[in-house]
Amino acid sequence: MTTSHVDPVVQTFRSEIAALDARLLATVNERIATVAQLHRYKAAHGIPLRDTAREGEMLEHLGRINSGPLSPAGLAELYAFVLDLVRREAAGA
């Protein structure tokens, strides 16, 4: 199938996915900005930047509210990736 003629159902799904991707991008950018602000505050007040206990609490909370289809293992992987990405990006913000 060529891209000049896309099934309308496929196009509808693609449009929905593109909108979800845009929301995801906006959310990640907002999280990076918020974490950068938090890091500045913590640095100014002598508070350690990383709180592994809090990270564990958040993962447990997300696990409780996750209604799927994302698996618990997938959630743990996603959360670890987001934390790592946001930490790196916030450090450069």
Q: Is the pLDDT of residue 3 over 90?
A: no
Cα–Cα–Cα angle for 88, 92, 93, rounded to 5 degrees: 115
Note if the bond before 72 is cis, omega within 30 degrees. no
pLDDT digits (tens, 9 = 90+) for 24-65: 999 999 999 999 999 999 999 999 999 999 999 999 999 999
| Mean pLDDT value across residues 60-73 | 98
Q: Is the pLDDT of residue 79 over 60?
A: yes
What's residue 40's pLDDT?
96
Domains and CATH numbers, the chain: 8-92 (1.20.59.10)
Secondary structure (3-state) at 45: coil
Give residue 5's pLDDT band: very low, low, confident or very high (50, 70, 90).
Answer: confident
